[in-house]
Structure formats: structure tokens, C-alpha cells
Amino acid sequence: MERNTTAGGKRKWTTQAAQLLLTAAAILVVFSSALAQTSAQFLGAGGTGSASVNTTGPWTAAVDSSGAGWITITSAASGTGNSTISYSVGRNATGASRTGAIVVTPQGGAVQSVSITQAALVTGAPTITVAPSSSSNNPQVFTIAVSDPNGINNIYYAQALINASQSSSYNSCYLYFSSPYTIWLLSDSASAWLGPLSFSSGGQPLTSTPLSNSQCQINSANASMSISADTSTATYVLPMTASSTFVGINTISAWAVYMVGASDYSVMWVSAGTWAPYPPQNVPPQASQASPSSGSGASQSFQFTLSDVNGYRYLQNLQLTFANGSNSCSLYFWTGSSYVQLSDSAGNYQLAYVDGSTYRWGPGSPFCSSGAPSVNASGNNLTLTLPLSFALSFAGSINISGWVYDKAWQGAAVPSSTWTVPSSASLTLSPASAQFLGAGGQAFINVNATGPWTAAVDSNGAGWITITSATSGAGNSTISYSVGRNATGASRTGAIVVTPQGGAAQSVSITQGALVTGAPTMAAAPSSSSNSQQTFTFTFADPNGIANIYYMQVQINVG
């Protein structure tokens, strides 16, 4: 799986005056007897700043001609009395430093200004360091420093992956710095960002709730961050504790996406250290033979049980091959993920998710496809249940083999097994026909099939017969459908046609009578009783079917 860089609302790191641009903070413009003119300096990536206005009357603010186009006032440009002017400084891709000013004019007073100088963008990538660079302590306080020669505002986002395998983000400790003041942690299944842990302008945590998944935890209450005076470096102090399941010699990798020039982006990557809170036993994983290990059919749910003495979370992935001569299907499953990936020798691909959703691409009909897989994991063992369907073009004897790997990429072979795909598909539908009265209703069809199939309403049933369940499947299943009201004045007949892959279509005939005139009836048995306890049987009937009855009520009363 590719590293997940889309979750958590990623955004460009932005600077705040009091936090990141310390040289721009506490600017004081005094409209009194003396002029206290100050200045601010920015690196090439620019950022934001603020100026404090101290006056007793109205004033206006504007950017001078030298700052036009790169200094922008982002707050109100006029006011009365004490206030703050906020502004931003753009990227300096001119190749030279530049100076502009914000000019403040008090009513009836002398003009004053704040001089703003910005360096040009320089060549150089960000750096990320982790201290200590090697540790076996648990817990461990890590200090992570993210620097950029053009200022941290030049960094779009940064990430750090702590895991025994750098090929997978599942069951890992994966940090995402979406801004200088915000850290997220990836979930075990790599499907969501947890948190965030946010910091104040002074670098203090805004929450005491730990940021954690099943692998690691950040002690938020004791975490902190700071920005260097020149705004080039953000430093994070993160007390971290590993869970007992976070086994392995975990490599710490870090990377940052940053801007180059006026608008381009690039990526830097670094191997920053290791953390081994629970060193693993040097024992390869094991895998069971497919269950069932033999048999025949165009579809089958196979089970594969994997085990590791270091716990199931130390398992890395399962790779399987279903081979029939030169034709084959391959399967990849990363433990902790929510899907399996199938590919065949004809160039077709499928992602099958545990929630039942699927995504396919390729030039044609695949040799094999998967329904929703399921995973049951506990202790040292993980069992993958894989419902597979095979195309008739894949007919014959199939050899099932594969490998299982742990996070250290130690592997073990999956014991081979066989399966036979029939050369023709069988299909049985029941009932063979159905009858409805004029009000219509709902019913279902039992499908008994050995392979994939599709279902559709024929042209005679279009508009009044509706399939309300899935219109395709593999193997045994049920098709649900509804029949509308028949106000045509005549009976009608349509059909649901089911077509098996590579086999002859079969249909269920559906006949419906027309609506007739007549009211419902109700009968009670017994019709008369003097018993203090009595079981009544109420029978409701309608000549157009009970679907024609909106609701029913029975009243028992004196008089």
C-alpha cells in the first residue's frame, strides 16, 4: 500500500506572528510625541506577521509601493484607538532580497511605518532529525526537528513512519504533521487519521487526551513544540509508549513535501533512526494449507490461517497464486488492511474490500474474482476467509500455493493444495413461477449456482417488476423483487431472467391479475364468546391481495 498522504485534512504549513515569526511580534507603532519605528524579517517562503497600533484616534494603514504585490494586509486597514494589523508576506522567487513597508497614518498626525525585509528563496531541501536516533527504551521521549532553509512555511506537510517494515503503514506508529501546530496518528487499518494533538501559539498541548492506536501512544499532556526565532525550524518533544504488540526493530523514516521555486513541489525522505521497544524472536511465520484443501466448483470460500510467535500484528503479508497451466490469479493481502488485491495473467485487477465494495480494472473478464473477505485475528493467529469465483475459461485443475512474510521479511511457504473448476456452469431457480393479485407485493427467488450469474427483468416485466437486491452474484444466493399495482384492466406476465457465466439462461415467470372491485373482509373466530379468557383468530382478506390493505384495526367494546 502506498503511504497515505490524503487523510487528516492536509494543508500547507502556515505561520502565525506570535508563534512562528517572533521577529514580527510585539511591533509597536506609537502615535505620540516619539516615533518608535520597528522592522520585521522573513525568509524566502514568507509567512504572516502582525503590528500593534497604540493610538488615541482614527488611523488608516496601507502597503507602500515597494511592498505592493508581496505584502498584503489581511486585517482591517483602518480603525480607531488601539488595534492590531495582521499581514502576510508572499514567496520571494525574485532571486534577491526585498524591502517594503506598511504605512500607518493617524488622523491629524505624522505618518509612521513598519519596515519589512524578506530574503530571497534559496536552494535546499528540508531536514528532519530524530533524537535519540536509536533506542530500545519504553517509554521513550523523542525530539523531532523539522527545518527548511526558506522557513517552515515552505513545508506543505511532514510525516514520520515508525514500523518494522517500511513497505506497509498497517499496524504502525505513523505520524502526520499537517501544520506546525497539529499532529495526527494513523489508525491500525491505515484507513483514518486519529486525533489531532494540537498545540497553542506558545507550544503547549491543547489536550491532555493521549493520541494512540494499538501500537503506540503519545502522552499529549507532556508533549510540547517550539519554533526557532528565524522560523526555520519546528521542534517537537513527544513522550511515546509502545504497546506490547508493537514488536520489531522499527525503522523511523521521515519525509516532507515542500515547495521549490514559485509553485513546484518536491519530496525529501530520510531514514532517521530505529526504535526496538520489544525486539522480535527470530522465528519465521507459518501458514496452513487452504481449507478446503481440495474439491471442485466455480466458487468457494477458502480459509488460510497464518501464525507468528511474535503476535499476528508482526505478520506482514500473504501472497497466493492460483495456477492453471499458463493461466493464473495472484492475491496480495497486507495484514491489517481492509482489502485484498487480485490480479490475473490476462492483466485484470480487483480490489475487494471487507465492507463488500469492490473496484475492478483491466482489459477483459477476469479468471477469478473475490467477494468480501473477512479477517479473524487474535494472539499469534490470523485467519483470512476469501470467497472466490472462477471463470469457466479457468476450468481445470488449479494448484494453490503461496508465501507468508513477517515484518522482517522472513517468509514461509503456504502448503500447496488443489481445486478443480468445472468446464460448465449449473443453475437452478426456485420457485419456477409466481402469481400475484392486482395489488402486487414482494417475493424472492432462490438461486443455486456453481459460478457467477447475472439477473434482469425481461421486456414484458419492465416497469412493474423490480429487482430490489443485487442483480449479480456468485454461487448460491437469493434475488428479492417487487411487483407493482396492476391498474391496466388486464392480467400481465413478465419474467426475471438469470444467466450463469458460460451457461444457458433460466427464468422465473411472474403473472399478475388486474385490480378488481371489492372491499376487504374480516372474520373473527369464534364469532361469539362469553369466556373470560378467549383466543380469537382474525382473518383479513382482500380480492386484490393483502398488499392492498393500508392497515388493519380491531375494536372490542360494549355497545
Residue 201 in contact with residue 214, Cβ under 8 Å?
no
d(CA 29, CA 32): 9
The residue-averaged pLDDT of 483-503 equals: 93
Q: Tell me the β-bridge partners of 280.
A: none
Distances in whole angstroms, Cα of residue 361 to Cα of each of 250, 337, 369, 389:
35, 20, 12, 17
Residue 496 in contact with residue 508, Cβ under 8 Å?
yes
Closest CA to 382 of 519, 245, 538: 245
Residue 101 in contact with residue 95, Cβ under 8 Å?
no
Most confident listed range (8-22, 106-120, 359-373): 106-120
Number of H helices, E strands in the chain: 1, 45
Answer whether residue 502 shows pLDDT above 80.
no
Residue 309 in contact with residue 380, Cβ under 8 Å?
yes
The residue-averaged pLDDT of 29-49 equals: 65
Q: According to the model, what pLDDT value does residue 30 have?
A: 31
d(CA 166, CA 3): 9
Least confidently predicted of 28-42, 177-191, 205-219, 470-484:
28-42
- Could you tell me the pLDDT band of residue 541, with boundaries at 50, 70 and 90? very high
Q: According to the model, what pLDDT value does residue 13 have?
A: 58
- Tell me the helix, strand and coil percentages in the chain, rounded to 5: 5, 50, 45
Residues 6+ apart with CB under 8 A from 303: 290, 291, 383, 384, 385, 386
Answer whether residue 427 shows pLDDT above 60.
yes
Q: According to the model, what pLDDT value does residue 425 have?
A: 74
Between residues 149 and 16, the one the model is more confident about: 149
Q: Grid coordinates in use for 23?
A: 521577529
CB atoms within 10 A of CB 179: 23
Answer whether residue 9 shows pLDDT above 80.
no
Answer whether residue 374 shows pLDDT above 60.
yes
Q: According to the model, what pLDDT value does residue 239 have?
A: 98
d(CA 501, CA 42): 68
What is the 3 state secondary structure string of 299-326? EEEEEEEEECCCCHHHEEEEEEEEEECC
Count CA within 13 A, CB hemisphere, residue 509: 5
Report the SS3 class of residue 251. Answer: strand
What is the 3 state secondary structure string of 411-477? EEEEEEEEEEECCCCCEEEECCEEEECCCCEEEEEEEEECCEEEEEECCCCCCCEEECCCCEEECCE
Between residues 328 and 3, the one the model is more confident about: 328
d(CA 434, CA 448): 18
Between residues 555 and 175, the one the model is more confident about: 175
Q: According to the model, what pLDDT value does residue 49 have?
A: 87
Answer whether residue 387 shows pLDDT above 50.
yes
Q: Tell me the β-bridge partners of 39.
A: 115
Q: Tell me the β-bridge partners of 397.
A: 420
Residue 534 in contact with residue 556, Cβ under 8 Å?
no
Answer whether residue 72 shows pLDDT above 90.
yes
Q: According to the model, what pLDDT value does residue 559 have?
A: 66
Residue 218 in contact with residue 224, Cβ under 8 Å?
no
CA dihedral 382, 384, 188, 313 (to 10 degrees): 30
**How many angstroms separate the first and last alpha carbons of the chain?**
76
φ, ψ for residue 440, nearest 5 deg: 75, -155
The residue-averaged pLDDT of 137-159 equals: 95
d(CA 199, CA 201): 7
Residue 239 in contact with residue 68, Cβ under 8 Å?
no
Q: According to the model, what pLDDT value does residue 456 have?
A: 97
Buried b / exposed e over 253-272, threshold 16 CB at 10 Å, is bbbbbbbeeeeeeeebebeb
For cell 481449507, the residue is 291
pLDDT in tens, 225-242: 999 988 899 999 999 999
Whole-prediction pTM: 0.67
- Could you tell me the pLDDT band of residue 8, with boundaries at 50, 70 and 90? very low
Q: What is the DSSP letter of 17?
A: H
Residue 130 in contact with residue 254, Cβ under 8 Å?
yes
Answer whether residue 139 shows pLDDT above 80.
yes
The residue-averaged pLDDT of 16-26 equals: 28
For cell 492475491, the residue is 331
Within its chain, how far is the Cα of 120 from the centroid? 39
CB atoms within 10 A of CB 442: 12
The residue-averaged pLDDT of 274-281 equals: 94
For cell 373466530, the residue is 525
pLDDT in tens, 279-300: 999 999 999 999 999 999 888 9
- Could you tell me the pLDDT band of residue 119, with boundaries at 50, 70 and 90? very high
Q: What is the DSSP letter of 499?
A: E
Most confident listed range (335-339, 413-417, 424-428): 413-417
